Chains A and B, each alone.
Chain A
Amino acid sequence: MIGGVGYGGLVIALVASLTAVITSIYGARTHSAAVLESARRAAKVTFPLLTISILALLYLLVSGHFEYSYVYQTTDLEMPFYLKLAALWGGQEGSLLFWCWLLAGFSFLVVIRRWKSEQDLLPWVIAVTSFTLLFFLILVVFFENPFLRYFITTDGEVTRALFQPMMTAQANPTNGAGLNPLLRHFGMVFHPPALYLGFTGFVIPFAYAVAALISGHTDDQWLKLTRRWSLAAWLFLSLGLVLGSRWAYDVLGWGGYWGWDPVEISALMPWLTGTAYLHSAVTQEKRGLFKHWTIALIILTFCLVIFGTFLTRSGLLSSVHAFSQSAIGPAFFVFIIIMFTGSLGLLLYRWSALRSGEQINSFFSRESAFLFNNLLFIAILLICLTGVLFPIFSELLTDRKVTVGPPFYESAAGPLFALLLLLMGIVPLTMWGVSTAKNLGRQLWRPALVALAAPLAALASGVQKWIALLAVWLVFFAVFATLWDTSRAVSLRASSHQESAWKAFVAQVRHYRRRYGGYLIHIGVSLMALGIIGIEFFQTTTQGMIAVNETLNLSGYTFTYQKLEVFDTTDGRNRALATVVISKGDLLLKTVHPGRDYYYASQQSVTLPGVRSTLADDLYVILVDWQPITSEGATLKIFRNPLINWLWIGSGILVLGTLVALWPAGERKKIMLPRGIDQ
């Protein structure tokens, strides 16, 4: 019954989005206000309808209706409540429905807020978002239906169907198979929704860009209207990537945070073009440059979002991420081709209208730096695409599948990431418009020199890898240059306004939220780089089988194995938990409990690392094995991951910086005036 309601919501939403596509195009072409109004209503109603479907599925998940195959496959009776809710995106069908719901929610926000002021663009925006929604709803309704139930035929076969087929009895499982134990983590609650919010969020700026191209309003209006959409989408995408990384670090058992797996790369690719897009958009707003390029980047970002979804769900790639494979690949392929060629064709059609007449006048100007930033992001994208598609093309061309692993990405993209760091240091000290090498050099030498202190200190403490020293210098150069420019602006304001330094700083940030938000993001990214340098270049490890009260040593730390407990938990796990005391010299630092959970139902074990975290390093202890009967000896593997926490701290600063840039600026309201007034 509840399932029927949920499925009904889906079907009506599908009809509504189809109506919205047709009426919005027809209404825009005939300039019929009445038709457009019905388009708007149709677009609006998809959100409440899909909310009903989502609530229905959530109800089924939480109340344990295991006769529904999706509920059976993603939950069981023992799972905690929050994981039952998160099971909504724990499988293909539910996560696609969740995708649809978010997209419908975003278009809902667009049409209720600004219908009057954007009458030229909105019909086409509705057409694009509704078409995208229609595509995903077709997948959910016809191919990946989350509301299928199990039925048993007279000869004992189990089938799945929406309605009870003839000659069958409804199945009545007492318990579900449960979520994959590796997914039973807090990361499961936040990582997928953040990624999906990022993915679907980019649909809105894309829809506006296409609307601008179709309607011929190729000025900056679409860009200004979607500035905060894009930033928010970028924020969620960044957050999704970082949360996934943190989750992997916590559960993979060896402190891995990024493995260049195809699924990871397919989420990174839209982030790369999205970041390039944000920079290109700033240049267009400030200097009227890169207009074609900005639109091309948002088209690319949207297509990469869809492409990534396609790659991870079609089973085309071999990845360790446990996505189910299904038959929706070809449909995705057709959709991507339509969107990519369609929007690219529109861009070419409006090519001359987008010409601005502005040019870059100086090699050392800020716009020039932004251009190089864009080129570097695109270069990294090409490397990612090469790596991901190489197995497919090599098999097509030579009949032998050739793959590339992390070393390829590291050696090809590593130098480009280093150049990006360098550029991040240079950019705050450049100026829009005209600038010379001499001018720039005069600004640069001080932070460049001060930053040398960091690699020199590292050298003094025994670091000898020159690449690591260079990387450390790049990080500190980027941070110092940013701080340098900020302090210069603050002291200028403080002396001209006769204010205290703090007051001047606050005023400065309030006035130029986007610039200082960007600066904060840059500092965050630099610190993230520091964490990556730490674990990549300086990770140390040891291992050994030791008896109770014996010790292992690593990088000056002593690890004493004290005891092991093995017991059953109340929710179907057998847990082995060791007690290990970490000390340095005579100083006792922390007691950690590395262990392992064994899930009886799925016969699957999950490693629980014991970690001592500080700003200097993580000591990451894993219980590899133990003597089952005597529990006298245990095998421990220990990693020391220097500086890794700066990766997470940097991510936090990145989020903060994006929020500063997103914060609505009161004095900028003028831009939002209805179009009619200045015409």
Chain B
Amino acid sequence: MSEDLRAVNSRQRFRINKFVIGGVLLLAAVVLLVITSLKGNAQYYLTVEELTAGKAGQSASVRVSGVVLGDTIRYDQQTLDLTFSVAHIPGDNDEIEALGGLASVLHSASLDPNAARLRVKYSGVKPDLLKNEAQAIMTGSMGADGVFYAEELLLKCPSRYEEGVPEQAAP
């Protein structure tokens, strides 16, 4: 009786080991999957200053963020080629907060003539949010001509209530 039990026990232990091996294999496969996916798809997230200073190195694909300058936006209706310039904004969140929040950083950067600028080309539908003082987050690569060729273009307009100063009714 007790021998039977022991036999069952060892058999069960053997089976549990199979699960441990299966689990370890699965974990190894996932880690491998993550690493290979990271290798092909990780991008440096740079500011305009860093990118124009050549910090991207040889990376094929980078992500860069800047503020859209409204009067530089050109859109070709025939080819859907979109070009515009962005100006440098700090990449660090604490720095942005220290300067009074995203909305005011975007505003002052768009007016600063000394801020580093970057010319951007994108092909496709002109996004609704592309306008002066919007934050553009672009993924793509630098061309030899010094223009940034964006494959992905995301835009963000800070929600209004950070700035919210109401206009007054007549007293």
Other-chain contact of A359, B12, B80, B155, B166 (Cβ < 8 Å): B12
Answer yes or no: A248 CB below 8 A from chain B CBs: no
Query: B62 → chain A, closest Cβ, in Å?
Result: 9
- The SS class assigned to the A binding surface is mixed
In the bound complex, residues from chain B placing their C-beta under 8 Å from that of A322 are: 156-159
| Complex Cα–Cα for A5 and B152 (A) | 48
Report B58 CB to chain A, min CB distance, Å.
14
Q: For the complex, count residues of A whose C-beta is within 8 A of B.
A: 74
The answer on a CB contact under 8 Å between A316 and B45 is no
B54 proximal to A (CB < 8 A): no
How long is the Cα–Cα vector from A173 to B44 in the complex, in angstroms?
45
B residues in contact with A603, CB < 8 Å: 131
Chain B residues near A332 (CB-CB < 8 A): none
Contact status B12-A361, CB under 8 Å: yes
B65 within 8 A of A: yes
- Assess the A253–B45 pair: CB atoms within 8 A: no
> Contact: A72 with B158, CB < 8 Å?
no
Q: How many angstroms between the C-alpha atoms of A180 and B163 in the bound complex?
A: 14
Q: Residue on B with the closest CB to A359?
A: B12
Let me know if A407 and B102 touch, CB within 8 A.
no
Given contacts A173-B167, A625-B75, contact A408 B41 (CB under 8 A): yes
A671 contacts the other chain (Cβ, under 8 Å)? no
Knowing A69-B164, A401-B91, A404-B41, say if A607 contacts B128 (CB, 8 Å).
yes
Contact stretch, chosen from A29-37, A411-419, A506-514, A531-539? A411-419
B2 in contact (CB, < 8 A): no
Assess the B33–A73 pair: CB atoms within 8 A. no
Binary flags per residue of A591-624, CB closer than 8 Å to B gives 1, else 0? 0000010000011111100000000000000101
Interface string of B40-80 (1 = CB under 8 A from A): 11111110000000000000000101000000000101101
Chain B residue with Cβ nearest A401:
B45
- Closest A-chain residue to B59, C-beta based? A402
Q: Is A199 an interface residue (CB 8 A)?
A: no
- Is B160 part of the binding interface, using a Cβ–Cβ cutoff of 8 Å? yes
Cβ of B5 within 8 Å of any chain A Cβ, yes or no, is no
Which chain A residue has the least Cβ–Cβ distance from B47?
A401
B171 within 8 A of A: yes
The answer on a CB contact under 8 Å between A402 and B45 is yes
Partner-binding segment picked from A8-16, A382-390, A515-523, A647-655: A382-390
B169 in contact with A173 (CB, 8 Å): yes
Q: Is B93 an interface residue (CB 8 A)?
A: yes
The residue in chain B whose Cβ has the minimal distance to the Cβ of A169 is B171
A584 at the interface (CB under 8 A from B): no
Q: Quick one: which of B63, B131, B139, B160 contacts A177, CB cutoff 8 A? A: B160
A412 touches B43 (CB 8 A): no
Within 8 A of A (CB), among B7-41: 12, 15-16, 18-19, 22-23, 26-27, 30, 33-34, 36-38, 40-41
CB distance from B160 to the nearest CB of A (A): 5
Contact of A325 (CB < 8 Å), options: B16, B44, B91, B101: B101
List chain A residues, Cβ under 8 A from B63: 403, 405
Q: Does B129 contact A (CB under 8 A)?
A: yes
- The one of A72, A169, A403 in contact with B166, judged by C-beta atoms closer than 8 angstroms, is A72
CA A407 to CA B45, docked complex, whole Å: 16
A254 touches B156 (CB 8 A): no
Shortest Cβ gap from A284 to chain B (Å): 17
**B144 contacts partner chain A, Cβ-Cβ < 8 Å:** no
- In the complex, the chain A residue whose C-beta lies closest to that of B166 is A173
- Whether B169 contacts A174 by the Cβ 8 Å rule is yes
Contacting residues, chain B, for A431 (C-beta < 8 A): none
Q: Is A323 an interface residue (CB 8 A)?
A: yes
* Chain A nearest CB, measured from B150 CB (Å): 12
Q: Which of B78, B127, B128, B152 contacts A405 (CB 8 A)?
A: B152
> Is residue A400 contacting chain B, with contact meaning CB distance below 8 A?
yes
* CB-CB under 8 A for A320 and B154, given A253-B125, A412-B34, A416-B30: yes
Q: CB distance A625 to B169 under 8 Å? A: no
The answer to whether A180 touches B160, judged by C-beta atoms less than 8 angstroms apart, is yes
Beta-carbon contact of B125 and A254 below 8 Å: yes
Question: Cα distance A74–B162 when bound, in Å?
Answer: 12
Instruction: List B86-110 residues whose CB lies under 8 Å from chain A.
Output: 91, 93, 97, 101-102
Q: A254-B125, A382-B34, A624-B125 are in contact. Are A375 and B23 (CB under 8 A)?
A: yes
CB contacts (< 8 Å) of A403 on chain B: these are 42-45, 63
The answer to whether A363 and B34 have CB atoms under 8 Å apart is no
Asked if B137 is at the interface of the complex by the 8 Å CB criterion, the answer is yes
Q: Say whether B128 contacts A604, CB under 8 Å.
A: yes
Q: Which residues of B contact A91 (CB under 8 A)?
A: 159, 161
Question: Which residue from chain B places its CB closest to the CB of A624 in the assembled complex?
Answer: B125
* Min CB gap A649→B, angstroms: 27
Q: Contact partner of A412 among B37, B45, B157, B160, CB < 8 A?
A: B37
* B119 contacts partner chain A, Cβ-Cβ < 8 Å: no
For B128-147 the 0/1 string (1 means CB < 8 A from A) is 11010000010100000000
A161 CB within 8 Å of chain B: no
User: Does A379 count as interface, using CB distance less than 8 angstroms?
Assistant: yes
- Known contacts A325-B101, A405-B152, A622-B125: A360-B166 contact under CB 8 Å: no
Contact status of A625 and B126, CB under 8 A, knowing A325-B102, A363-B15: yes
A359–B16 alpha-carbon span in the complex (Å)? 8
Chain A min CB distance to B17 (Å)? 11
CA distance A324 to B103 in the complex (A): 10
- Given A323-B159, A325-B97, A405-B152: A382 and B44 within 8 A (CB)? no
Of listed B19, B30, B38, B137, residue having the most chain A CB within 10 A = B30
Is A383's CB under 8 angstroms from B34's CB? yes
B127 and chain A: residue at smallest CB distance: A253
B residues neighboring A (CB under 8 Å): 12, 15-16, 18-19, 22-23, 26-27, 30, 33-34, 36-38, 40-46, 63, 65, 75, 77-78, 80, 91, 93, 97, 101-102, 124-129, 131, 137, 139, 152, 154-162, 164-169, 171
Nearest first, the 6 closest Cβ-Cβ pairs linking A and B are: A73-B161, A173-B166, A412-B37, A401-B45, A408-B41, A174-B169
The interface of chain A, by Cβ under 8 A from chain B, is: 66, 69-70, 72-74, 91, 150, 152, 158, 169, 171-174, 176-177, 180, 182, 253-254, 315-316, 318-320, 322-325, 359-363, 368, 371-372, 375-376, 379, 382-383, 386, 390-391, 400-405, 407-409, 411-412, 415-416, 543, 545, 596, 602-607, 622, 624-625, 633, 635, 637
25 contacts between A and B (CB under 8 A): A72-B166, A73-B160, A74-B161, A91-B159, A91-B161, A158-B165, A158-B166, A169-B171, A172-B169, A174-B167, A180-B157, A319-B156, A320-B137, A320-B154, A324-B161, A324-B162, A363-B15, A402-B44, A402-B45, A404-B37, A404-B42, A408-B37, A416-B33, A624-B125, A625-B126
Contacts A73-B159, A180-B157, A633-B77 supplied; 16 other A-B pairs, CB < 8 Å: A322-B156, A324-B159, A361-B12, A363-B15, A383-B33, A391-B45, A401-B45, A402-B45, A404-B37, A404-B42, A415-B33, A416-B33, A545-B78, A603-B131, A604-B128, A625-B77
